[in-house]
Amino acid sequence: MTSEVASRKGPIVGVSVLCHDQDRVLLIKRGNPPYKGLWSLPGGRVEYGEALTAAAERELFEETGIKATLGEPVDMFETMMHDGAGTTTSHYVLVVFSGAYLSGTPWAGDDAADASWFAIGELGSLHTTPGTVARIKRLLPGR
């Protein structure tokens, strides 16, 4: 992945899903770098020719076994990683969808090491990817 990103000279488009059920949110523990072992929103790359919403639904199900009703995108951010020499090794633009839980029991699939529901009040005690807790609280105010 790193060499592909560096040789492409352009960002990769990805999606994330803020799946919620009442006062709980669904997170995955990342099974691969970057951020291996940290909790984050489920998501991944958009495949060529795939609509953003379809990619979000697919990634949510592949990583967690959960289905949700997704609306329009609610946020967008980018993330870049650099090596010791300052060379960009990965560059992602991520589109975030919010989704109300429909069905399924969380299980870790694809590249997720774990998948679980967390009460919003628990999020501060988790080791999460940068910006995850702030993004959840901003997108789900009052919960």
CATH of the domain at 98: 3.90.79.10
Residue 137 lies in a domain: no
Residue 23 lies in a domain: yes
Residue 139 lies in a domain: no
Q: What is the pLDDT of residue 7?
A: 56
Q: What is the mean pLDDT of the chain?
A: 93
* pLDDT band, residue 9 (cuts 50/70/90): confident
Number of domains forming the structure of the chain:
1
Neighbours of 42 (CB within 10 A): 28
**pLDDT tens across 31-58, in order?**
998 899 999 999 999 999 999 999 999 9
Cα separation, 128 vs 77, in Å, equals 16
User: Quick check: pTM over 0.85?
Assistant: yes
Residue 142 lies in a domain: no
Q: What is the pLDDT of residue 1?
A: 47
Residue 37 lies in a domain: yes
